[in-house]
A and B are shown apart, each in its own frame.
Chain A
Amino acid sequence: MTERTFLGMPYAPRGVGHLRGEEPFPVAARAALANTQLRRNLGKATTTIRAKRAAVVAELPDWEELRAAGQAIKQHTLAHLDSYLEQLESQVTAHGGTVHWARDAHEANRIVTGLVRDTGAAEVVKVKSIVTDEIGLNEALAAAGIAAHETDLAELIVQLGHDRPSHILVPAIHRNRAEIREIFLREMPGVDPGLTDTPAALTEAARLHLRRRFLSARVGISGANFAVAETGTLCVVESEGNGRMCLTLPDTLITVMGIEKVIPSWRDLEVFLQLLPRSSTGERMNPYTSMWTGVTPGDGPQRFHLVLLDNGRTAALADPAGRAALHCIRCSACLNVCPVYERTGGHAYGSVYPGPIGAVLSPQLTGVEDNASLPYASSLCGACYDVCPVRIDIPSILVHLRARHVEEAARARWVPSAEAVAMAVASWVMASPVRYAAAQRSAGAGGLMSRKGKIRRLPPPLSAWTAARDAPAPPARTFRQWWRLEHGDPDDRA
């Protein structure tokens, strides 16, 4: 297989993991928009989370200063990423852990599968981890005969439903209580056939199911929200306590972490532990914050492995205009305010990173050509930028990636695209007042195709525009004609 690179850095490889959809966003979105149940579920859930977040953020008078601090820490860390990664490796190793380096998903999956095999275990329990979804770890483990059991409630719902996550924080946001009850009744061994769809009953069923897994598992697999370089401490924040079980009960713990998750110090962690829960679940503090440093004899896992994953991250880092996407702390606040996400849901994005942040992160990890439609999955309203706890200017990165896509596509084509021809013609027309005036007059003919002030279908190549939206009917008079009527001909006055 030919390795695709950007400035010498490998992109996330094709054929493994979940960073690419089977269909471009507009096609997938059309199917999602037709699902009225999905839109109701999403609308209700995102409205609730938005309100909770707004309330707890408003409590902090220095919220903007916190955001600026979070942004500054991330910029500083990425500017010295190699140094902090080496410091993290040194500290983890000094405290009895083992550090592994993976350039891409294939390597990471091989490393983790090998580590599990070495323990002799045939099953593992997992803390919710998007990065392991990114690399397709569950599939790799299954191919090696190892069963991976998700223990986060929403991830469990997704796994039992043979489904895909659709939200960074709430992977089963597209499911309502009735659907979850049906999944449990169908897929959960030994579940009470009289199960109701009340939250308490569904949670209790999941607790009983998972408790058996926790107590028998010999290997736990997690991601990491943060890794503190100065002490080699890993940090996972969660809400259900399943993470604490996975991080403490098994004899072997394997943590897979994107290299951008390292932060320099505990003082920096303080900033993020204020930003993250308020932005993600709308809580002042998340219920469970687990931290561990290497291994402690007689207490908790006795073997700890940390897998540091690149998988396209250094390719993203190499782009000065796009690298801020690596500042993301996976809070998902941008998803909950996005008018596009709220209507299409996460599956339409085709990547484990949906929504606005996914639209800037996924194309940079895979190379823009593999996710070319995602930078256009936005109205550029800017709501994502307003709520981002680390001030990622997502709209600017979207525009930058659109430009990259256009430039890369132009280089790859022998014949100019219809869009490129249209832009060249527009440039030629607008360069001359005479040509521009003539074009305005001729555009009036478009009125013949309009009904009720809108044109629903234009002939090719302009049909690409009206395939997804109406075009406004041209006015009866051009601006110049109106001006002459109101103010006289400027040439006459001269």
Chain B
Amino acid sequence: MSTPQPPGRTPLGSGVEDPASRSAVLRASGTTKGGPPGPTAREGGR
């Protein structure tokens, strides 16, 4: 078992990350949605 750590994103020392990337990927994956939602494994009858 892993031990839970305090939440929060650790800043990168190298400062290479674009903070806009997170919102861009989330927005794109949310607004393009994958069609009609299907059931999960158990809901699907298995």
Contact = CB atoms under 8 A, between A and B. Distances in A.
A117 interface: yes
A173 to B, nearest CB: 32
Contacts of A94: 4-5, 7
B40 A265 contact: yes
B9 to A, nearest CB: 6
A314 B8 CA distance: 26
Contacts of A71: 38
Interface string A55-94: 0000000100110110111011111111101100010011
A103 B24 contact: yes
B5 to A, nearest CB: 3
A492 interface: no
Nearest to B5: A96
Interface string B4-46: 1101111011111110011011111110111111111111111
Contacts of A101: 17, 21-22, 24-26
Contacts of B40: 72-73, 76, 264-265, 267-268
Contacts of B33: 78-81, 317
Contacts of A317: 28-29, 32-34
Contact of A79 (B21, B22, B27, B37): B37
Nearest to A304: B2
B2 A314 contact: no
B37 A76 contact: yes
A86 B27 CA distance: 11
B25 A85 contact: yes
Contacts of B24: 101, 103, 310
18 contacts: A65-B45, A69-B41, A75-B35, A76-B39, A79-B35, A80-B33, A81-B30, A82-B26, A83-B30, A85-B26, A95-B3, A100-B21, A101-B24, A114-B13, A265-B40, A294-B4, A295-B2, A317-B32
Contact of B2 (A9, A72, A294): A294
A8 B32 CA distance: 10
A295 B5 contact: yes
Contacts of B28: 8-9, 310, 314, 317-318
Given A96-B2, A103-B21, A295-B2, A314 B41 contact: no
B13 A69 contact: no
B41 to A, nearest CB: 5
Nearest to B42: A267
A306 to B, nearest CB: 11
Interface stretch (A105-113, A242-250, A373-381, A422-430): A105-113
Contact of A95 (B5, B32, B41, B43): B5
Contact of B21 (A66, A107, A293, A297): A107
Interface of B: 1-5, 7-10, 12-18, 21-22, 24-30, 32-46
A98 B10 contact: yes
A87 to B, nearest CB: 12
A351 to B, nearest CB: 22
Interface of A: 7-9, 62, 65-66, 68-69, 71-73, 75-83, 85-86, 90, 93-96, 98-103, 107, 110-111, 113-115, 117-118, 259, 264-265, 267-268, 270-271, 292-297, 308, 310, 313-314, 317-318, 320, 323, 326
Contacts of A107: 17-18, 21
Contacts of B37: 75-76, 79-80
A430 B3 CA distance: 72
A227 to B, nearest CB: 14
User: Shortest 7 CB-CB distances between A and B: which pairs?
Assistant: A78-B34, A114-B14, A82-B30, A96-B5, A75-B38, A314-B28, A114-B16
Contacts of B32: 7, 9, 314, 317-318
A297 B3 contact: yes
Given A69-B41, A82-B26, A99 B9 contact: yes
B44 A69 contact: yes
Given A69-B41, A265-B40, A98 B9 contact: yes
B7 A93 contact: yes
Nearest to B20: A103
Nearest to A292: B2
Contact of A115 (B1, B12, B18, B25): B12
Given A95-B2, A96-B2, A296-B1, A117 B14 contact: yes
Contacts of B34: 75, 77-79, 81, 317, 323, 326
Given A79-B35, A86-B26, A103-B25, A118 B14 contact: yes
A217 to B, nearest CB: 20
A79 B41 contact: no
A446 B29 CA distance: 54
A327 to B, nearest CB: 9
Given A71-B38, A79-B38, A308-B25, 5 more contacts: A101-B25, A267-B42, A268-B41, A295-B2, A313-B29
- In this complex, the member of A62, A267, A317 whose beta carbon has the largest number of chain B beta carbons within 10 angstroms is A317
